[in-house]
Chains A and B, each alone.
Chain A
Amino acid sequence: MSSLSPHQQFLGLTDSPVSSLSSPSSPSFPDTFPSSTHRNPQTTAYDILHNPNNQLEFSGEKHKEQHSSLVTSGCKHLAQFKKQRRRVLDDEVVIDDDDRWDLFNSYRSLVRYSLAWHKSRKQLQNINTSDRKRKQYKELSLPQCSKCLDPLSRLHVCLHCVHMGCWRKGHIQDHMREKHHVFAMDFNHRTLYCNECGDYVYDNELTDVIVRQETIQSESRRRKRVRTANTSWEPTSQEISTIIKNSTIPSCQGLRGLCNMGNTCFMNVILQSFIHNPLLKAYFLSDQHNPTRCNNKFCLCCEMDNLFAQVYSGKKEPYGPCTFLHSMWMSLKELAGYAQQDAHEFFISALNNLHAGCEGNSLSTNCTCIVHRTFAGLLQSNVTCLKCGNVTSTKDPMLDISLSLRTVEKKKKISSNNKVATTAGGNTNSQQHTNSSNNPASFIRRLKQGNTLMDCLDRYTHPEKLGPNEYSCSKCGNTFQEATKQLSVKRLPPVLSFQLKRFEHGISASKIEAKIKFPVDLDMTPYTTHGKQQQKSKNPGMTTENPNLYTLFAVINHQGKIDTGHYTMFSKHRGEWFRFEDHNVTTTFQKDVLDSKAYMCFYIKKSLEYDDELFE
């Protein structure tokens, strides 16, 4: 007698989640892991929020009427199954083992299988996957329609029995009708289909407890270094009652306009970029800087804490960050006054002041304040003597990367001299170049004229010849030699900030309006120190999971002339893009964001590692 669902037996699974699926007879098959069956359910946020013993006030004033909606299921058929299951769990009802079909177990096994299968196919396409892994992946059987053997046509898996059917030819619907089976899962999207309702149903409990948990588990990477084992937190009933008695669920609406208090749009855009910065948000919303315990005067961290509280207060009308501005003025007298400032300068000053306000900050390069943990990286500068090949490296800390646009501007001047027809955006030659062309001639052309963020980074990290008498080589008897200098990123910060140097100060103050194309997803590998070494040795020994991938979350734009312009910004909030112009917050499309002429861009790492990997 086995308490495994038919799926678990078919797929060779036990209750233990496997990070690499293997058959029970293989030696890598794990045999111990906390059971995921209902006997000891891992308590998730859903379980605490929807505990039937919660008081009504827990859902908050506004949601009293909606309280009932919090506990409904995706559909009434699902509700029925859940009710029955609860009664079995509470031992109110005793059923035969034959009837012991558990929707939760089946769904969990299938979600796990789908995740593992898709991951395996991705890895098979990766040339760096080991042969041993390839063999393991090939062992996973091809999901196919039980009737017509087609692996395409939107496959669905029945939750009640071992049967797969394709959607387009109606095979899964036929099966469900014939056998009176109600639920099926779309194999590719892992969504639940209810045949009685005739539609897909979305259930909070299943999504949180099953889909989300399994997805997180399947994406966690195996690490070489041993860390302390994760212990799950099971709240005691005392803790549960304390939480319920003393808290209400606040709104997760984190959108609020900021009032322009007189040319303060430069500050508003930077503040919005902080508000939508996932790491800063997590730090300040989890009360890690408590103003009641802070003794600093005009402390910017206290102001940030206050700002987040205001933004997440649920109030819709715009907020005026006067106290923040006041504290900034007190810390930096040069900023005081109502003239327009440069947003990037404000950004750097704000970061420095925030760092100063953090407890436990230090002046060394390994400061662990929230500013450095979020923004700090390390830039390496290698100077190579062209005579003896000796390389001297220096490492400099950085909070952001400022990219020069000089060559792009030069290119435009040349084209207009030759009277080449330009498009409205002035992008002529560069449009014909794709980054996939690798021959040296096109690379040099791109290097000189390319107008994408990657081209700017190429220029930034390209070896640059030092002038005569600029470098004296210790190995060549301290004589002046010809040398090249090359920059690369030694350590990448979790949040990568770019400034495109559009403003030239000096005798002729001017602004470069050239449009620089920037991507939604950015791979920084070619610009890292390690990446440059790999390029040189032509060794494609990349790790299969790339920790250098970033995704865009905020863009700052400047319109107008250098001194009389206006700042606006775009930011991503809960998966959607919004445009922020002082007190105006509007929805927008990703395309508009990518089409804009960016002044600053903020990227965040797609997967964050633990500290011990950052400090090599």
Chain B
Amino acid sequence: MSSDSDKLRLALSRHFVDSGEKERLMNLLRNRLAESGWNDTLYAQCRETVRQRKLENVTLDELVKESSDFGRSSVNENIKKELLVQIKKYLDTAFDS
């Protein structure tokens, strides 16, 4: 059975998506990542993986799992900080309303 924190998290997620805030932050993140060249390095990494394993043998899901660690660790610290600040701001306003 879901605990109170689970319920809270679900309610927050719903508000986050419904208000359009998720869409906004996703766009912001996309722009920042593109500017920093993250897209390019990750693209190269995925390309290597597919080349080694041959296209027929890789599913998207497997590719995502293999590249996730690399992707997460190669994000610029500034971008992480900026997003965290934005998320915090959102949470403050969400709790007030």
Contact = CB atoms under 8 A, between A and B. Distances in A.
A150 B59 contact: no
A150 B40 contact: no
A520 B18 CA distance: 30
Contact of A142 (B18, B37, B39): B18
A529 B61 CA distance: 50
Contacts, number: 60
B69 interface: no
A56 B28 CA distance: 48
Interface in A587-606: 589-591, 594
A121 B26 CA distance: 12
A122 B23 contact: yes
Interface string A201-233: 000000000000000000000000000000000
Contact of A151 (B13, B35, B37): B13
B17 interface: yes
Contacts of A120: 20
A435 to B, nearest CB: 13
Q: Which of B13, B23, B36, B61 has the most CB of A within 10 A?
A: B23
A147 interface: no
A145 to B, nearest CB: 10
Interface in B21-67: 21-24, 27, 31, 34-37, 39-40, 59-61
B6 to A, nearest CB: 10
Nearest to A591: B37
A125 B24 CA distance: 7
Interface in A150-166: 150-152
Given A199-B59, A520-B34, A590-B39, A142 B17 contact: yes
A525 interface: no
A536 B50 CA distance: 54
A308 interface: no
A198 interface: yes
B10 interface: yes
Contacts of B10: 148-150
Contact of B60 (A118, A123, A199): A199
A124 interface: yes
Nearest to A198: B59
A148 B9 CA distance: 12
A590 B60 CA distance: 24
A589 B20 CA distance: 32
Interface residues of A, number: 24
A452 interface: no
A161 B57 CA distance: 30
Nearest to A186: B60
A327 interface: no
Interface in A496-550: 519-521
Given A125-B24, A520-B34, A151 B18 contact: yes
Contacts of B73: none
Contact of B61 (A152, A199, A589): A199
A499 to B, nearest CB: 24
Contacts of B59: 198-200
Interface in A132-190: 142, 144, 148-152
A144 to B, nearest CB: 7
B14 A125 contact: no
Nearest to B31: A521
B17 to A, nearest CB: 4
B19 interface: yes
Contacts of A148: 10
A169 to B, nearest CB: 12
A152 B17 contact: yes
Contact of A144 (B14, B22, B31, B37): B14
A590 B37 contact: yes
A86 B83 CA distance: 49
B21 A151 contact: no
Contacts of A520: 34-35
Nearest to A142: B18
Contact of A150 (B13, B27, B34): B13
Nearest to A155: B17
B21 A125 contact: yes
Contacts of A594: 35, 37
B72 to A, nearest CB: 15
Contacts of A152: 13, 16-17, 22
B28 to A, nearest CB: 11
A5 to B, nearest CB: 25
B44 to A, nearest CB: 8
A152 B15 CA distance: 11
A519 B13 CA distance: 33
B90 to A, nearest CB: 11
A592 B52 CA distance: 26
B40 A122 contact: no
A151 B17 contact: yes
A76 B37 CA distance: 37
A366 to B, nearest CB: 37
Contact of A118 (B13, B23, B36): B23
A431 B88 CA distance: 26
B65 to A, nearest CB: 11
27 contacts: A120-B20, A121-B19, A121-B20, A122-B20, A122-B23, A122-B24, A122-B27, A123-B20, A125-B20, A125-B24, A142-B14, A142-B18, A144-B14, A148-B10, A149-B10, A150-B10, A150-B13, A151-B18, A152-B22, A198-B61, A199-B59, A200-B59, A520-B35, A521-B31, A589-B37, A590-B34, A591-B36
Given A121-B17, A199-B60, A591-B37, 18 more contacts: A118-B23, A120-B20, A121-B22, A121-B23, A122-B20, A122-B27, A144-B14, A149-B10, A149-B14, A151-B13, A199-B59, A200-B59, A200-B60, A519-B35, A521-B31, A589-B37, A591-B40, A594-B37
Interface of A: 118, 120-125, 142, 144, 148-152, 198-200, 519-521, 589-591, 594
Q: Which 4 A-B pairs have the closest CB atoms?
A: A591-B37, A121-B20, A199-B59, A124-B20
